[in-house]
Structure 1
Amino acid sequence: MSHIVVTGAAGVLGNAVAHFLIEQGHDVTGVDLAGQTNDFAGTFIGSVDLTTAEGAASAARKILANGQVDGLVNIAGGFRWETIADGSPESWEFLHRINVMTALHMSRSLLASLVLAKGAIVNVGAAATLKAGSGMGAYTASKSGVARLTEALAEELKDEGVRVNAVLPSIIDTPANRADMGETDAAKWVAPCELAQVIAFLLSDAASAITGANIPVTGRV
């Protein structure tokens, strides 16, 4: 049994990943900016601002008080759609903070334990990093940062026995996406439980030969 940390744990994907990992017999600690969540199955640490090094370090101290960490799933993040002409430069800074810096800070804060465990990190990027569309500039730039973070950290840790990979989903089938985009094409999107299974595979010994990969998980989009 392994101890896995999941950020963005109060969200739809974070909850799905946690439930799937627990079903597989892992201990899961969830971390989120939200103060509480009603249906999270593992240990939950709320009101954590992972956009700051201090917030991540504080969460890490609480996590490590319960023992070694074997795996980390960086899901915390967000999305904004706006064109460059009509949008705000602040959106670029905001999305960089919540998509890139959260993954960086949590990874750094748990690095010593992950090295000791020869564990694994899985980041959640986006298939949109392959080509930015209209209104997707800030989001795509930030998720491209997640991909480069994944590759750089994998290179730095490969001799330590720590694997670092990322999944690149297309549209995830969540209530928020259905509300924003309609349900017509939802059957083509990626279900949270499907993405959770890919993440669990990358955390497992079955993926021992994979590191530094950015893996598209795009459903039928």
Structure 2
Amino acid sequence: MDGKVIVVTGASGALGKVVAEVALARGARVGGVDHAASQVAATPNRIELGGVDLTDAAQAKKAIDTVASHFGRLDALVNIAGGFAYETVVEGDPKTWQRMYALNVMTALNASRAAIPHLAASSAARIINVGAMGALQAGAGMGPYAASKAGVHRLTEALAAEWKGKITVNAVLPSTIDTAANRASMPKADFAKWVTPQELADVILFLASDAASAVTGALLPVSGRV
């Protein structure tokens, strides 16, 4: 990852923080983008932009352009920003479907559209999205979330086909990620079976590396020990 410039959306979240830290440790330069206010001090190898609503195309473009201008180029985009909701189809709020689509699909779409003009100038350009194992076959209460993550899968495939030979576009499909929030919501689960943020970060950064130059359009399950 030496010297590569990577944008991480959702950089203040449990997974985004780990991806940014691991990328930095491997020699990358990282621009973090998040809806939350930034709590990270700028360094020569890291900037973080808070208060960015990636569901808004103009805000996404401004943030991505700022990172690319700061570092002089862009090599990879990691789309982690998103959301989760658990509601049954009949009893849930129809607005939840719109919110899940906005948080999971539109954030990735807007960030990708903003990044592609910069990525097109890189000799090793990468986009990595975060899909979900649960979107391959939705369970009860997973309709809005699974439908939106299925949209991320299709976005990944479409972009990979459109930019084949110029930008690789892949998605990781985690099962439950071992975060404090997930432990609190599922206290009786076997946490040892879950995917850790570090494990998922390793897969994401492999896809962002030169070693993954021949991989594009992949929906890669990262199912832990389930």
Instruction: Classify the TM-score, shorter chain.
Output: over 0.9
Shift of 1:62: 1.3
On the 8 A contact 2:177/2:197 being kept in 1, the answer is yes
Provide the residue aligned with 2:134 in structure 1: 128
Contact 1:18 1:40 in 2 (8 A): no
1:168 aligns with 2:173: yes
Deviation at residue 181 of structure 1 after TM alignment: 0.3
On the 8 A contact 1:48/1:56 being kept in 2, the answer is: yes
The aligned residue for residue 57 of structure 1 is 61
Rounded to whole Å, the distance in 2 between the matches of 1:76 and 1:101 is 10
User: 2:9 maps to what in 1?
Assistant: 7
Following superposition, the deviation at residue 37 of structure 1 comes to 2.5
User: Are 2:29 and 1:24 equivalent residues in the alignment?
Assistant: no
**Alpha-carbon separation, structure 1, partners of 2:40 and 2:176:** 25
Contact 1:72 1:121 (8 Å CA) reproduced: yes
Q: Which is further off, 98-107 or 37-46?
A: 37-46
Identity of aligned residues (%): 53
Hey, what's the Cα distance between the residues in 2 that align with 1:102 and 1:183? 32
- Aligned length in residues: 220
- Give, in angstroms, the shift of residue 39 of structure 1: 8.3
Contact between 1:3 and 1:27, CA under 8 Å: does it hold in 2? yes
Look up the equivalent residue of 1:3 and give its one-letter code.
V
Q: Give the superposed CA RMSD.
A: 1.3
Deviation of the 1:57 alpha carbon: 1.2
Aligned with 1:131: secondary structure?
A: coil
Structure 1 pair 183–13 and aligned structure 2 pair: CA distance change class (3 A): farther
1:211 pairs with 2:213: no
2: CA distance between counterparts of 1:80 and 1:187? 23
Which sections of structure 1, spanning at least 5 residues, go unmatched? none
Distance (whole Å) between structure 2 residues aligned to residue 37 and residue 100 of structure 1: 26
The residue matched to 1:116 in structure 2 has which SS?
A: coil
| Alignment partner, residue 47 of structure 2 | 43
Q: TM-score, normalised by structure 2?
A: 0.94
Between Structure 1 and Structure 2, the one with more helix by share is 1
Is 1:137 the counterpart of 2:139? The answer is no
Question: For the Cα contact (< 8 Å) 1:31–1:48, is it kept in 2?
Answer: yes
